[in-house]
A and B are shown apart, each in its own frame.
Chain A
Amino acid sequence: MEAEEGIAVVETASPEPSPLGAILSTEERAQVRDAIARLPENYRVPLVLRYYGELSYDEIAQQMGLKKNYVAALIFRAKQDLRRKLSHRSQ
């Protein structure tokens, strides 16, 4: 549901794709977002805070009440999980 909404919004809301945006098609971006949405909460939250909210690990740690090292591990595992999810999809 979130993915469909995402695609619809993306198509209307990105008038000027950046050079890298051109490399990554609209659909692929939606796929990534969809995969992120399906991550478990404890992975998803730090990942989104980092790459959408652009917070530092320290800030994320503070907001979630965790240690910085743990946040680093969560983000790392989130990426691994994400890769697995996306590679499953492309097969």
Chain B
Amino acid sequence: MECYSEQKVSMFVDGELEVEESQHLRDHLAACSHCRRLLDALRAENRVLSESLQELPEHEFSLVGPFRSPWSIGWADVAVMALVLTIGSIVAPWIDHLSIPEALQWLNPMSLSGRTNLFFNLSYYFAHGGAAMLSDYAAFVGGLLLFLLLGGGVLLLGRRWRLQQPGLRMLTVLLVFSLPGFALERRHSEIVTVAARETIDDTLLATGNIVRVEGVVNGDLLAFGGTVEVRGTVKGDLVSFAKRTVVSGTVEGNIYDFSNSLDLDGQLGHSLYGLMQSLDVNDRGRVGEGVVVAAGDISLEGEVVRSATFYAGNTDVSGTVGRELTMAGDNLILTNTARVGGNLSARVRQLKNVHIADGATITGSRDIQLRVKENHFTRPKFYFYQAVWLAAAMLVGWLGLILFPGFFQASAHAVGSGWRSFGFGLGVLAGVPVAAFLIAITLVGFPVSLMLFAFYLTAIYLAKIWVGAFLGQKLLKPTEANKSDWLLGLLVGLLILTVIGFIPYLGGLVGFVVVCVGLGAFSWQLYRVSRRVITT
């Protein structure tokens, strides 16, 4: 007769075997001296355990760890959220004074000027969307909750599913972030037209082969299409993803353009930021503030009131730049009619590619430099930025450890699975943008898609932290699993990753693998947690 496993005998000692199995084991024990000895040893062990723990003073109950009952109200979460909001609103003006490059400003979640950020603009949307928006939102959330209650209630009765904290948190965050989406008016058809006499009060999200605005959009215009034309007026920003974008009317805010080509014939109130193949600012075109654009070809015939920064293969300027003109690229041509109100600085590969006509007016200095590959290791700034990055990553690691201790450590631990994490991470890395795009074009999911994408970028950032923590743990092998050791491990791991990142080619490859593995570990952990949430 085969002996029982140690785990089975251990469960027997704990009185956790089913009646039938217990009986079988008892029968076996009568005949097997080996199992009897095991049984005695395990009983003795249990006594030692109970004995040792018996004298555990009340305050040492922390040994049990931070497990909370699944349905406890997360007051701590509310407090943390409130704290983040408070700190955010205090720090926001200060951050605004930092000289973050303007092109990046709209990505800054705490920016007061950036109008596309979600978090701190809730108040803006509340103020402008008014009660109509709120009732829309309440109806949607109410419906969703009803659905969840009905569906969840049935399942809860069967005690088959349990929606626990992670799921609840995720849902809350998604709902909160989807809020601004309700200030959107959505239009989707082959040709989307805002007629000349029409006025749209909200932000307009338009997708279609041709998106044409002849009337007035009081909010922002978010346009995805083959051709996007603004002949009328957009009072907010224009965000355009299109093959061709033509602005012959007026955009009073900023333009963020990711098109194949952008023609600006009309008036732009603030600034233009973009990434495109070609940019034409025609002689009737006027940019009220600055321009920061990366493009293949740039032609400036009109006026830029403030400074212009171009990263371009070819830059032709025959119009006016009110202040500095900064350019990096291959060819720069300033014709006789060109006027630059400030300094001209250009970085090109060859000096003969710069043509400045004699008639061109440049008020400030001319600074033409050849672009040579500079070794960034010699610049002190470089080390400063690395240190800042490292400090920020440590801070994030520390916060994560405090807010979600189990999850953060488990994610770092899951990195150890190597290939599984890598494969999983690769899939997530490639799949999420596709999913975000698919969700976005269903229109209803636009805010969810934005949220998903933000989540994705955050996870990519965190990937390095988890891999770093894992690496540090492996190297230091701390005997005590406490927080300061974990953070020390994180520091060591991040330092190693940073140094490896400097190795040409290999560094990039390692970076890619790190992102994949970290992302995979995170997704795996998320999957495990969600499986725990949906226990059958």
Q: List residues of A whose CB falls within 8 A of some B CB.
A: 2, 5-6, 9-10, 13-14, 18, 20-21, 24, 28-30, 32-33, 36-38, 40-42, 44-45, 47-53, 56-57, 63-67, 72-73, 75-76, 79
Contacts and interface: CB of A to CB of B under 8 A. Distances in A.
B162 A65 contact: yes
B55 A41 contact: no
Contact of A32 (B6, B49, B409): B49
Contact of B53 (A14, A20, A33): A33
A65 B70 contact: yes
A73 B52 CA distance: 22
A47 B99 CA distance: 54
B45 A37 contact: no
Contact of A76 (B6, B49, B51, B52): B6
Nearest to A33: B52
Contacts of A10: 55
B245 to A, nearest CB: 51
B49 A51 contact: yes
B55 A51 contact: no
A41 B45 contact: no
Interface string B64-75: 111101100000
Contact of A40 (B10, B48, B481): B481
Interface range on chain B: under 10, 10 to 19, 20 to 34, or 35 or more? 35 or more
A86 B15 CA distance: 25
Given A9-B57, A40-B481, A51 B6 contact: no
Contact of A63 (B6, B10, B67, B481): B67
A47 B49 contact: yes
B14 interface: yes
Contacts of B21: none
Interface of B: 6-7, 10-11, 14-16, 45-57, 60, 63-67, 69-70, 162, 164, 405-406, 409, 479-481, 532-533, 535
Contact of B45 (A21, A73, A79): A79
Contact of A38 (B6, B15, B480, B533): B480
B60 A29 contact: no
Given A24-B48, A29-B55, A64-B67, 18 more contacts: A9-B60, A18-B51, A20-B51, A28-B52, A29-B52, A33-B52, A38-B479, A41-B66, A41-B406, A44-B64, A45-B65, A48-B53, A52-B63, A53-B64, A56-B15, A57-B16, A67-B535, A76-B6
Contacts of A79: 10, 45, 49
Contacts of B533: 65
Contact of A20 (B15, B47, B67): B47
Contacts of A67: 535
Contact of A37 (B7, B50, B63): B63
A18 B47 CA distance: 11
15 contacts: A9-B55, A14-B55, A18-B51, A20-B51, A30-B52, A33-B63, A38-B480, A41-B405, A41-B409, A41-B481, A50-B14, A65-B532, A67-B535, A72-B11, A79-B45
Contacts of B56: 33, 52
A52 to B, nearest CB: 4
A51 B46 contact: yes
- Which of A13, A21, A48, A51: most chain B Cβ within 10 A? A51
